[in-house]
Amino acid sequence: MVRTRGLTHIALAVRDVDRASRFYQEVFGAVETYRSAGFVQVETPGSHDVIVFEENAERAGASGGVIHFGFRLVDPADVDLAAQEVERAGGKILSRGEFGPGEPYVFAADPEGYEVEIWYESDRR
């Protein structure tokens, strides 16, 4: 086994790096940490997860083998706010529900069409 710091980043092909960056800043509080022509990198607050946006209109929104990626909520009561922020930032709610009592989720599409899960999981481990 090799020791790592966990899954650290995901790179997404997008049509518009500015729009993609803005969506994740508005919904998740991401902070832009690097920018070059056709390329933007953002980090989520606290956990320092990295999302890379690379302009590539031909591949944008195509998931390949990736079904979705997720953000875990700190408080289950924030699921309604998360759904509101997604829509306000130009995303679309795909489904909502609970995986179990007190474990709500929202599946949403970002403006590029990538599926994002926003969910809460209790500390039952």
Q: pLDDT digit string (tens) for 87-121?
A: 999 999 999 999 999 999 999 999 999 999 999 98
- Region 49-71 average pLDDT: 88
Domains by residue range for the chain, with CATH: 9-58+66-119 (3.10.180.10)
Radius of gyration of the chain measured on its C-alpha atoms:
15
Using one digit for the tens of pLDDT, what is the confidence trace for 61-88? 887 878 889 998 999 999 999 999 999 9
- pLDDT (0 to 100) of residue 4: 60
Give kind and range of the element (H or E) at residue 61.
Answer: none
Q: In 3-state terms, what secondary structure has residue 17?
A: helix
pLDDT of 125 above 90: no
Tokens of 33: 């940490």
